[in-house]
Amino acid sequence: MDSSPSKPSLLERLSALLMREPEDREQLLALLHSAFERNLLDADALSIIEGALQVSDMQVRDVMIPRAQMDLIHLDDPIDKIAGFVIDTAHSRFPAVGDGKDDVAGILLAKDLLRYFAGREFDLRDMLRPAVFVPESKRLNVLLREFRVSRNHMAIVVDEYGGVAGLVTIEDVLEQIVGDIEDEYDFDEAGDSIRLDAQGRYRVKATTEIVDFNTAFDTHLSDEEYDTVGGLVIRQLGRLPKRGESIVVEGLKIQVLRADSRRVHTLLVERCAPPPEAVGD
Protein backbone atom coordinates (compact mmCIF):
# COMPACT_ATOMS: atom_id res chain seq x y z
CA MET A 1 0.00 0.00 0.00
CA ASP A 2 1.35 3.44 -0.99
CA SER A 3 2.02 5.45 2.17
CA SER A 4 3.16 8.60 0.32
CA PRO A 5 1.03 11.65 1.10
CA SER A 6 -1.57 12.54 -1.53
CA LYS A 7 -1.23 15.78 -3.45
CA PRO A 8 -3.42 18.62 -2.13
CA SER A 9 -6.51 19.38 -4.19
CA LEU A 10 -6.93 22.60 -6.14
CA LEU A 11 -9.29 23.91 -3.46
CA GLU A 12 -6.81 23.06 -0.71
CA ARG A 13 -3.95 24.77 -2.57
CA LEU A 14 -6.04 27.89 -3.16
CA SER A 15 -7.20 27.97 0.46
CA ALA A 16 -3.64 27.66 1.70
CA LEU A 17 -2.56 30.46 -0.60
CA LEU A 18 -5.32 32.76 0.61
CA MET A 19 -4.59 32.04 4.27
CA ARG A 20 -1.92 34.73 4.04
CA GLU A 21 -4.31 37.65 4.28
CA PRO A 22 -2.89 40.65 2.38
CA GLU A 23 -2.49 43.89 4.28
CA ASP A 24 -2.43 46.27 1.32
CA ARG A 25 -2.96 46.32 -2.45
CA GLU A 26 0.67 45.53 -3.22
CA GLN A 27 0.47 42.36 -1.15
CA LEU A 28 -2.85 41.47 -2.77
CA LEU A 29 -1.34 41.82 -6.26
CA ALA A 30 1.68 39.79 -5.21
CA LEU A 31 -0.70 37.10 -3.94
CA LEU A 32 -2.61 37.11 -7.22
CA HIS A 33 0.60 36.83 -9.25
CA SER A 34 1.67 33.96 -7.04
CA ALA A 35 -1.67 32.28 -7.76
CA PHE A 36 -1.06 32.80 -11.47
CA GLU A 37 2.41 31.25 -11.23
CA ARG A 38 0.90 28.25 -9.44
CA ASN A 39 -1.69 27.87 -12.25
CA LEU A 40 -4.55 28.75 -9.91
CA LEU A 41 -5.46 31.73 -12.13
CA ASP A 42 -5.08 31.97 -15.88
CA ALA A 43 -3.65 35.04 -17.59
CA ASP A 44 -7.06 36.44 -18.61
CA ALA A 45 -8.45 36.17 -15.07
CA LEU A 46 -5.37 37.87 -13.63
CA SER A 47 -5.60 40.67 -16.19
CA ILE A 48 -9.29 41.28 -15.44
CA ILE A 49 -8.71 41.38 -11.67
CA GLU A 50 -5.80 43.80 -12.09
CA GLY A 51 -7.96 45.95 -14.37
CA ALA A 52 -10.80 46.01 -11.85
CA LEU A 53 -8.40 47.11 -9.09
CA GLN A 54 -6.91 49.76 -11.35
CA VAL A 55 -10.28 51.30 -12.24
CA SER A 56 -10.82 52.58 -8.70
CA ASP A 57 -7.61 54.63 -9.02
CA MET A 58 -8.44 56.13 -12.42
CA GLN A 59 -10.46 59.22 -13.26
CA VAL A 60 -12.67 60.05 -16.22
CA ARG A 61 -9.98 62.32 -17.68
CA ASP A 62 -7.71 59.27 -18.04
CA VAL A 63 -9.94 57.50 -20.56
CA MET A 64 -12.23 60.14 -22.08
CA ILE A 65 -12.33 61.00 -25.77
CA PRO A 66 -10.93 64.55 -25.90
CA ARG A 67 -13.10 67.45 -27.05
CA ALA A 68 -11.14 67.84 -30.29
CA GLN A 69 -11.83 64.21 -31.28
CA MET A 70 -15.55 64.12 -30.51
CA ASP A 71 -17.85 63.21 -33.41
CA LEU A 72 -20.78 65.62 -33.11
CA ILE A 73 -23.94 66.39 -34.99
CA HIS A 74 -25.13 69.97 -35.35
CA LEU A 75 -28.79 70.76 -34.83
CA ASP A 76 -28.85 73.25 -37.72
CA ASP A 77 -27.50 70.77 -40.29
CA PRO A 78 -29.91 69.20 -42.81
CA ILE A 79 -31.08 65.73 -41.84
CA ASP A 80 -29.54 64.26 -45.01
CA LYS A 81 -26.12 65.56 -43.96
CA ILE A 82 -26.55 64.23 -40.42
CA ALA A 83 -27.65 60.82 -41.69
CA GLY A 84 -24.63 60.61 -43.98
CA PHE A 85 -22.29 61.54 -41.14
CA VAL A 86 -23.84 58.89 -38.86
CA ILE A 87 -23.38 56.24 -41.55
CA ASP A 88 -19.76 57.25 -42.25
CA THR A 89 -18.64 57.31 -38.62
CA ALA A 90 -20.71 54.25 -37.62
CA HIS A 91 -21.08 55.18 -33.94
CA SER A 92 -24.25 54.31 -32.05
CA ARG A 93 -24.57 57.61 -30.13
CA PHE A 94 -23.81 61.22 -31.01
CA PRO A 95 -23.81 64.38 -28.89
CA ALA A 96 -26.00 66.99 -30.60
CA VAL A 97 -24.86 70.60 -30.24
CA GLY A 98 -26.28 73.99 -31.07
CA ASP A 99 -24.01 77.02 -30.83
CA GLY A 100 -20.65 75.32 -30.41
CA LYS A 101 -19.37 72.27 -28.58
CA ASP A 102 -20.29 73.62 -25.15
CA ASP A 103 -23.98 73.82 -26.11
CA VAL A 104 -24.93 70.13 -25.85
CA ALA A 105 -28.67 69.76 -26.40
CA GLY A 106 -28.83 65.99 -26.01
CA ILE A 107 -27.74 62.63 -27.40
CA LEU A 108 -28.93 61.19 -30.71
CA LEU A 109 -29.12 57.41 -30.97
CA ALA A 110 -28.27 56.23 -34.47
CA LYS A 111 -31.19 53.79 -34.40
CA ASP A 112 -33.61 56.71 -33.99
CA LEU A 113 -32.77 57.75 -37.55
CA LEU A 114 -34.71 54.70 -38.75
CA ARG A 115 -37.86 56.84 -38.59
CA TYR A 116 -36.27 59.24 -41.08
CA PHE A 117 -35.13 56.47 -43.44
CA ALA A 118 -38.58 54.88 -43.23
CA GLY A 119 -40.11 58.15 -44.48
CA ARG A 120 -41.95 58.84 -41.24
CA GLU A 121 -42.23 62.22 -39.55
CA PHE A 122 -38.91 63.10 -37.97
CA ASP A 123 -38.00 66.02 -35.70
CA LEU A 124 -34.38 65.92 -34.61
CA ARG A 125 -34.88 67.81 -31.35
CA ASP A 126 -37.73 65.52 -30.33
CA MET A 127 -35.52 62.48 -30.95
CA LEU A 128 -32.73 63.59 -28.60
CA ARG A 129 -32.18 61.75 -25.34
CA PRO A 130 -31.09 63.77 -22.26
CA ALA A 131 -27.34 64.22 -21.95
CA VAL A 132 -25.57 63.17 -18.76
CA PHE A 133 -22.71 65.39 -17.57
CA VAL A 134 -19.84 64.23 -15.37
CA PRO A 135 -16.69 66.00 -14.08
CA GLU A 136 -13.23 65.06 -15.29
CA SER A 137 -12.27 64.05 -11.76
CA LYS A 138 -14.99 61.40 -11.27
CA ARG A 139 -13.52 57.97 -10.48
CA LEU A 140 -14.16 55.28 -13.06
CA ASN A 141 -15.61 52.77 -10.61
CA VAL A 142 -18.19 55.36 -9.52
CA LEU A 143 -19.01 56.22 -13.13
CA LEU A 144 -19.44 52.55 -14.02
CA ARG A 145 -21.90 52.11 -11.16
CA GLU A 146 -23.84 55.18 -12.35
CA PHE A 147 -23.88 53.86 -15.93
CA ARG A 148 -25.34 50.57 -14.68
CA VAL A 149 -28.02 52.23 -12.52
CA SER A 150 -29.10 54.82 -15.10
CA ARG A 151 -28.65 52.52 -18.11
CA ASN A 152 -26.81 55.30 -19.91
CA HIS A 153 -23.92 54.39 -22.18
CA MET A 154 -22.42 57.84 -22.74
CA ALA A 155 -21.65 60.90 -20.63
CA ILE A 156 -20.38 64.36 -21.53
CA VAL A 157 -17.27 65.30 -19.57
CA VAL A 158 -17.06 68.87 -18.30
CA ASP A 159 -14.11 70.78 -16.90
CA GLU A 160 -14.01 72.92 -13.75
CA TYR A 161 -15.49 75.88 -15.65
CA GLY A 162 -18.44 73.91 -17.02
CA GLY A 163 -17.09 73.68 -20.55
CA VAL A 164 -17.12 70.42 -22.50
CA ALA A 165 -13.78 68.61 -22.11
CA GLY A 166 -14.72 65.42 -23.94
CA LEU A 167 -16.99 62.41 -23.69
CA VAL A 168 -16.79 58.97 -22.11
CA THR A 169 -18.70 55.78 -22.82
CA ILE A 170 -19.35 52.66 -20.81
CA GLU A 171 -17.12 50.85 -23.29
CA ASP A 172 -14.18 53.12 -22.39
CA VAL A 173 -14.57 52.12 -18.74
CA LEU A 174 -15.09 48.41 -19.34
CA GLU A 175 -12.02 48.24 -21.57
CA GLN A 176 -9.89 49.20 -18.59
CA ILE A 177 -11.08 45.96 -16.96
CA VAL A 178 -11.47 43.42 -19.74
CA GLY A 179 -9.33 44.90 -22.51
CA ASP A 180 -10.43 46.01 -25.94
CA ILE A 181 -14.09 45.50 -26.92
CA GLU A 182 -15.13 45.30 -30.54
CA ASP A 183 -16.36 48.64 -31.80
CA GLU A 184 -16.54 50.76 -34.91
CA TYR A 185 -12.74 50.77 -35.21
CA ASP A 186 -12.31 47.01 -34.94
CA PHE A 187 -11.94 44.46 -37.69
CA ASP A 188 -13.51 41.10 -38.36
CA GLU A 189 -11.21 38.25 -37.39
CA ALA A 190 -11.05 37.14 -40.99
CA GLY A 191 -10.70 40.67 -42.32
CA ASP A 192 -7.62 42.51 -43.47
CA SER A 193 -5.38 44.30 -40.99
CA ILE A 194 -5.36 47.45 -43.12
CA ARG A 195 -8.57 49.07 -44.32
CA LEU A 196 -9.33 52.23 -46.25
CA ASP A 197 -12.04 54.42 -44.71
CA ALA A 198 -14.45 56.88 -46.31
CA GLN A 199 -12.06 59.81 -45.81
CA GLY A 200 -9.22 58.16 -47.69
CA ARG A 201 -7.29 57.27 -44.54
CA TYR A 202 -6.29 53.80 -43.38
CA ARG A 203 -7.33 52.04 -40.20
CA VAL A 204 -4.58 49.64 -39.22
CA LYS A 205 -4.43 46.96 -36.55
CA ALA A 206 -1.57 47.64 -34.18
CA THR A 207 -0.61 43.97 -34.49
CA THR A 208 0.10 44.39 -38.22
CA GLU A 209 3.62 43.16 -38.87
CA ILE A 210 6.19 45.69 -40.08
CA VAL A 211 6.84 43.62 -43.21
CA ASP A 212 3.16 43.81 -44.19
CA PHE A 213 3.01 47.52 -43.31
CA ASN A 214 6.03 48.23 -45.54
CA THR A 215 4.41 46.36 -48.41
CA ALA A 216 1.13 48.24 -48.05
CA PHE A 217 2.60 51.73 -47.73
CA ASP A 218 5.84 51.34 -49.72
CA THR A 219 7.93 52.19 -46.66
CA HIS A 220 11.27 50.80 -45.48
CA LEU A 221 10.79 50.53 -41.72
CA SER A 222 13.15 48.21 -39.88
CA ASP A 223 11.76 45.26 -37.97
CA GLU A 224 14.92 44.57 -36.00
CA GLU A 225 13.75 46.25 -32.76
CA TYR A 226 9.98 45.63 -33.05
CA ASP A 227 7.75 43.27 -35.01
CA THR A 228 4.54 45.27 -35.33
CA VAL A 229 3.44 48.80 -36.17
CA GLY A 230 2.12 49.11 -32.62
CA GLY A 231 5.61 48.30 -31.37
CA LEU A 232 6.95 51.01 -33.66
CA VAL A 233 4.66 53.63 -32.10
CA ILE A 234 5.59 52.57 -28.56
CA ARG A 235 9.29 52.63 -29.44
CA GLN A 236 9.05 56.10 -30.98
CA LEU A 237 7.19 57.57 -28.00
CA GLY A 238 9.15 55.63 -25.40
CA ARG A 239 5.97 54.57 -23.57
CA LEU A 240 2.46 53.27 -24.09
CA PRO A 241 0.59 55.98 -26.02
CA LYS A 242 -2.81 57.46 -25.29
CA ARG A 243 -5.66 57.84 -27.74
CA GLY A 244 -5.03 60.73 -30.13
CA GLU A 245 -1.25 60.73 -29.89
CA SER A 246 0.66 60.39 -33.14
CA ILE A 247 4.08 59.99 -34.72
CA VAL A 248 5.38 60.77 -38.21
CA VAL A 249 7.59 58.30 -40.06
CA GLU A 250 8.60 58.28 -43.74
CA GLY A 251 5.92 60.80 -44.67
CA LEU A 252 3.15 58.97 -42.81
CA LYS A 253 1.22 60.25 -39.82
CA ILE A 254 0.33 57.34 -37.55
CA GLN A 255 -2.28 58.28 -34.95
CA VAL A 256 -3.56 56.12 -32.09
CA LEU A 257 -7.29 55.47 -32.43
CA ARG A 258 -7.71 52.90 -29.72
CA ALA A 259 -5.44 52.05 -26.82
CA ASP A 260 -5.82 51.08 -23.20
CA SER A 261 -3.44 50.99 -20.27
CA ARG A 262 -1.90 47.74 -21.47
CA ARG A 263 -1.60 47.84 -25.24
CA VAL A 264 -2.30 49.66 -28.49
CA HIS A 265 -5.15 48.29 -30.59
CA THR A 266 -5.95 50.42 -33.65
CA LEU A 267 -4.13 53.12 -35.60
CA LEU A 268 -5.10 55.71 -38.20
CA VAL A 269 -2.56 56.16 -40.99
CA GLU A 270 -2.51 58.93 -43.60
CA ARG A 271 -0.02 60.64 -45.86
CA CYS A 272 1.40 63.88 -44.54
CA ALA A 273 0.64 66.95 -46.63
CA PRO A 274 3.66 67.89 -48.77
CA PRO A 275 5.44 71.07 -47.68
CA PRO A 276 4.57 74.17 -49.74
CA GLU A 277 6.95 74.81 -52.60
CA ALA A 278 9.40 77.63 -52.10
CA VAL A 279 8.55 80.72 -54.06
CA GLY A 280 11.39 81.92 -56.29
CA ASP A 281 12.63 85.48 -56.33
Classify 104 as helix, strand or coil: strand
Q: Among candidates 257, 60, 69, 265, which has minimal Cα distance to 147?
A: 60
Among residues of the chain, what percentage have pLDDT more than 90? 23
E strands within the chain? 65-66, 73-74, 93-97, 104-109, 133-135, 154-158, 164-169, 194-196, 202-205, 246-249, 252-259, 264-271
> Quick one: which H or E segment has residue 29?
helix 25-37
Which are the contacts of 140, defined by CB distance < 8 A and separation ≥ 6?
55, 56, 58, 59, 60, 62, 63, 173, 176
Q: How confident is the model at residue 52, as a pLDDT?
A: 79
Total-model pTM: 0.56
Beta bridge partners of 74: 97
Phi, psi of 275 (to 5 degrees): -65, 150
CA dist., res. 175 & res. 44, Å (int): 13
Whether the per-residue pLDDT at 262 is higher than 70: the answer is: no
Q: pLDDT, tens digit, for every residue of 129-148?
A: 999 999 999 999 899 899 98
Helix, strand, coil share (%) of the chain residues, nearest 5: 35, 20, 40
Classify 202 as helix, strand or coil: strand
Whether the per-residue pLDDT at 8 is higher than 70: the answer is: no
- 136 or 241, higher pLDDT: 136
Whether the per-residue pLDDT at 3 is higher than 60: the answer is: no
Confidence category of residue 199, pLDDT binned at 50, 70, 90: low
Beta bridge partners of 95: 107
Domains of the chain as residue ranges with CATH: 24-57 (no CATH), 61-178 (3.10.580.10), 194-271 (3.30.465.10)
Provide the mean pLDDT of the chain.
Answer: 81
DSSP code at position 115 = H
Confidence category of residue 189, pLDDT binned at 50, 70, 90: very low
Q: Do 101 and 70 contact (CB within 8 A), yes or no?
A: yes
Query: 244-248, 267-271, 277-281: which has the minimum mean pLDDT?
Result: 277-281
Our CA angle for 126, 131, 136, nearest 5°, is 165
Highest-confidence segment of 34-38, 182-186, 207-211: 207-211
Confidence category of residue 185, pLDDT binned at 50, 70, 90: very low
Whether the per-residue pLDDT at 38 is higher than 90: the answer is: no
Which are the contacts of 123, defined by CB distance < 8 A and separation ≥ 6?
none
